[in-house]
Structure 1
Amino acid sequence: MAALLYHIFSSSALVSLGLYHLICTTRNYLKSPHTYSAKPFHPFPPSSSSSSSSSSGNGGRLRHLQLYLLIICLLIAMTHQLIISVDADPLLKGRTPVHRFNSLQSVAVLFLFFLISISLLLTDSSSLLPFPSDLFFALASAFFFLQYNVSSSAASVQTSDLQAKCDSVSAGISALASLLCLVLACQSRLFVADIGLAAAICLQGLWVLQTGLSLYVDAFIPDGCHRLLDVVNGVEGSTQCDLEESKFRAVALLDLVFLVHVMFVLLIVMITYAGLAKNISIRRLGSYEALPTAAAVSENNHSHIQMKAMTGTQA
């Protein structure tokens, strides 16, 4: 149960972060396509500008809400990984804690993301770290690549083919996020890459939830696979497939589910873009003042005729 709750918590945090980045990115692009530039951090609410960072009131206090929540979520994730790293894995070589090293690697990567979140907060709220956005995207690219390595190594040592498949898909999403961050570090005005990054974060969150359901909820575990009854902590490899045919079927089913998640994320992106485009276009049309008509201009010109001064005339 604890493992499933952690997957639900991680999924909620990632999906919320991805959706917020998607909405802010799309909104900024639609408002000003010619001056658009990708940002690693968007203030809250999205309508607040950089000049409002020192303003008083709720807008100024909530400006860094995204970073505060992100830092809290990363602290909870690091604490969870540290706790499970001290448990020995009963599935691998008796009581040898093989999964401990993977947990510690995850903690290290989470700590790097924690540092970059603190740096973003200091950069936006003070002049202690005047780092440019390109540097943050470059660092995020490196950290996502490290996350890809951690997930790939975890998949290679899994005794459960089902969990190995989940970890390998997660590694692929991290590699995609790393590539997109690298593109944004080199070309910050590429809107498609910024939207892709938001979609990748949402997809990672949905896949984390799918992983928890496929491994720890009996109703979602594929046919022919089951949880080991003597493993109560839900450690790595606790969901096994009995037959080779069941393993292949479960892997194919996960591939199909992943495609469904991809289509769902694409649908979210299209709906978000269409909704914001319609909303912003309506606001623009509503904010325009009526242009004076030709009749009004002519009337104004006739009513304000400037007469030439007459000099040297006699009555």
Structure 2
Amino acid sequence: MASLATQFSTFLFLCPLGIRRLLCSFSLYLKNPSLYRSRTWYFSEPTWKNIDFYTLLIALPFAAFSYLFFFLAFSGHPTHRFAFLQQSQVVSLFWVLLILIIFRENFDIPENFIFVFAGIAFLVDYMMMGQGITGIGGVVYELFGELTLVCAGSCLLLSIRPTSFLAEFLLSSGLVFKGTWALQIGLSLYTDAFALKGCDNILMSLAQQGLTDIVKCELEEDRLRGIALMNLLFIGHAIVVLVASFGLFGLLCRNRNLRCGEASGPLLAELESMTMQMHPLPEFELE
């Protein structure tokens, strides 16, 4: 249940974050495509609308401490024990990222530096993800790692070219995808109700013995079928996230009232200054 709770928490953190980025980046792009510039975080006025940011700012230190506590209390196999320490370090990196974003809003910190730091944090997450897990679990976490690489590459590209709407789209939709796939991992690997046919989920008591395959299949045919099913589910998640993202973009094109409120901070001031210096440009609309 601890693993299921971890994956479900990841889903609750990443999906709203990715959807918010999609909504705000689409809204900012539709306002004036020629002046579009990605942001490390899309702050809004009034302050209470940024409750998701401050929730993460408070929740991530608790999550990092929880992983550290499990590392100190868990007396099982070293591979599983040190996984808690690695996760604590990864969560701490993203908490530092939020601190840097706050400093960015109040001090003159280069925005590309924050994107580089975010990319490094995703790369560290990728290197530590699913270590020591083999079999079906290894395949599932490998797919999860590929999504993390997409987010890392998008952040590094935005550090070089912050006007890249494609990179922002990949980052935002990648966060949503990571959230839904984390939920799928929790259901498929850590529950009996959604267990793969012919396979059993290994309990933590067995993991303490040093087993690295968290899903045990009696027959090779069951294992191969399970891998094929997880690959098919991954493709299904990709299609759903892509269609939902395009649907959101089309909806915002047709209905201005649904667009995200005006962002605040240095970017908004820069955008308004550039708009005053140039001739007004018509809004991009889909007929």
Unaligned runs of 5+ in 2: 260-287
1:85 lines up with 2:61 in the alignment: no
1:250 lines up with 2:226 in the alignment: yes
**Maintained 8 Å contact 1:162/1:241:** no
Q: 2:216 aligns to what SS in structure 1?
A: strand
Unaligned runs of 5+ in 1: 49-58, 90-94, 284-315
1:269 lines up with 2:245 in the alignment: yes
Which structure ranks higher in relative contact order (CA pairs < 8 Å, sequence separation ≥ 6)?
Answer: 2
The alpha-carbon deviation at position 88 of structure 1 amounts to 4.2
RMSD: 2.4
User: Distance between the aligned counterparts of 2:229 and 2:70, measured in 1?
Assistant: 29
**Cα distance change on mapping 1:73 and 1:138 into 2, 3 Å:** same
Q: 1:98 aligns to what SS in structure 2?
A: helix
The alpha-carbon deviation at position 228 of structure 1 amounts to 3.4
Q: Deviations over 1:101-137 (max 9, x none)?
A: 222122112111111101111221x33xx21221111
Query: 1:54: which partner in 2?
Result: none
User: Distance between the aligned counterparts of 1:237 and 1:84, measured in 2?
Assistant: 20
**Cα distance change on mapping 1:28 and 1:201 into 2, 3 Å:** same
The alpha-carbon deviation at position 87 of structure 1 amounts to 4.9
Identity %: 27
User: Distance between the aligned counterparts of 1:70 and 1:252, measured in 2?
Assistant: 35
Kindly provide the amino acid, as one letter, of the partner of residue 175 in structure 2: I
**Maintained 8 Å contact 1:67/1:121:** no
Query: 1:308: which partner in 2?
Result: none
Give the total of aligned pairs.
Answer: 257
1:113 to 87, 94, 105: 94
User: Distance between the aligned counterparts of 1:242 and 1:79, measured in 2?
Assistant: 38
Q: Deviations over 1:190-223 (max 9, x none)?
A: 1111011000000000111000001122121111
User: Distance between the aligned counterparts of 2:102 and 2:83, measured in 1?
Assistant: 29
Please, what TM-score do these two structures have when normalized by structure 2?
Answer: 0.82
Q: Deviations over 1:173-205 (max 9, x none)?
A: 111111111111111111111011000000000
Query: 1:146: which partner in 2?
Result: 124
Query: 1:68: which partner in 2?
Result: 54
Of Structure 1 and Structure 2, the greater helix share is in 2
Q: Deviations over 1:233-265 (max 9, x none)?
A: 999744322222211111111000000000010
Kindly provide the amino acid, as one letter, of the partner of residue 69 in structure 1: T
Kindly provide the amino acid, as one letter, of the partner of residue 126 in structure 2: Y
Query: 2:10: which partner in 1?
Result: 10
Please, what TM-score do these two structures have when normalized by structure 1?
Answer: 0.75
**Maintained 8 Å contact 1:218/1:226:** yes
Stretch of structure 1 that moved more, 6-15 or 224-233: 224-233
**Maintained 8 Å contact 1:137/1:182:** yes
**Cα distance change on mapping 1:62 and 1:236 into 2, 3 Å:** farther
**Maintained 8 Å contact 1:213/1:220:** yes
1:1-315 matches, within 5 Å, as 1-44=1-44, 48=45, 59=46, 61-62=47-48, 64-88=50-74, 95-124=76-105, 126-127=106-107, 130-151=108-129, 154-155=130-131, 157-158=132-133, 160-228=134-202, 231=205, 237-280=213-256
Kindly provide the amino acid, as one letter, of the partner of residue 40 in structure 2: P
Runs (4+) of structure 1 exceeding 6 A deviation are 232-236
**Maintained 8 Å contact 2:104/2:111:** no
